[in-house]
Amino acid sequence: MTEQASQKHWYAVHTYSGYENKVKQNLEKRLESMNMQDLIFRIVIPEEEEISIKDGKKKSTIKKTFPGYVLVELVMTDESWYVVRNTPGVTGFVGAQGAGVKPNPLLPDEIKFILKQMGMAEKTIDVDVEIGEQIKVIGGPFKNNIGAIKTIDEEKFKLTVLVEMFGRETPVEVEFDQIEKL
């Protein structure tokens, strides 16, 4: 496998109109049942919150930014391509030049823009910490607290840290970029 092929990239997948949620569910089930978690990482439906005011009341609705499309972060291999391509509701990859030809990934600037619009700015923070390790919180509302790591959620780039508050250990959620090793 070449260096380029072993890297994960974002791809746009075309779905039947109105099937975006179903495709996401189907794809999540398939990657679990076919043990593809090391090749297929995140599945995102591009959507944003739309706020409207009607009769003096604020109403919030979620609107699909690109109806008929789902974004998938994966390492492009024959297996991952086959699993996504043959998921019920998927009509194909965007950027595939003919049948049987693997598509081009989205450009880094494109995916950064889309995720930022959704409030999911792409993060590439890699923190080398372990559960139970003592850390210092360096940002956010819990700044300057010291605590032990209880859980690590790599997908959401968050940690649960036990800090002492009011004379007892209290779990607080912080982001990877808000901590430093002691």
36 and 90 part of one domain = yes
Structural domain includes residue 77: yes
For residues 45 and 51, give the distance between their C-alpha atoms in angstroms, rounded to a whole number: 19
φ/ψ bin of 180: left (φ > 0), alpha (ψ from -120 to 50), beta (otherwise):
beta
For residues 23 and 7, give the distance between their C-alpha atoms in angstroms, rounded to a whole number: 24
pTM higher than the cut 0.75? no
The tokens for 27 are 């794809």
112 and 63 part of one domain = yes
Structural domain includes residue 89: yes
Domain residues for the domain of 83 are 8-118
17 and 89 part of one domain = yes
Residues 84 and 102 sit within 8 Å (Cβ to Cβ): no
79 and 168 part of one domain = no
Structural domain includes residue 140: yes
Structural domain includes residue 174: yes
Burial of 43 (0-12, 13-18, 19+ CB in 10 A): buried
pLDDT in tens, the chain (182 residues): 444 446 889 999 999 989 999 999 999 999 899 999 899 999 999 887 777 787 888 888 888 888 999 999 999 999 999 999 999 999 999 987 766 778 999 998 888 888 877 776 555 555 678 899 999 998 888 899 999 999 988 767 788 999 998 889 999 998 887 888 88
44 and 109 part of one domain = yes
Residues 102 and 96 sit within 8 Å (Cβ to Cβ): yes
Structural domain includes residue 128: no
- Biggest alpha carbon–alpha carbon distance for the chain: 65
pLDDT score recorded for residue 30:
92
The pairing of beta strand 69-75 with beta strand 158-165: unpaired
Residues 135 and 161 sit within 8 Å (Cβ to Cβ): yes
143 and 108 part of one domain = no
153 and 107 part of one domain = no
- Write down the H helix ranges in 13-154: 20-33, 78-85, 108-117
110 and 166 part of one domain = no
- Domain harbouring 167, CATH code: 2.30.30.30
Residues 6+ apart with CB under 8 A from 92: 13, 14, 85
Single residue among 84, 118, 152 that ends a domain in this structure: 118
60 and 107 part of one domain = yes
98 and 36 part of one domain = yes
Q: How many domains does the chain have?
A: 2
95 and 15 part of one domain = yes
pLDDT score recorded for residue 5:
47
- Look up residue 98 and give its DSSP letter: S
Our CA angle for 163, 181, 151, nearest 5°, is: 50
pLDDT score recorded for residue 3:
41
Structural domain includes residue 124: no
70 and 94 part of one domain = yes
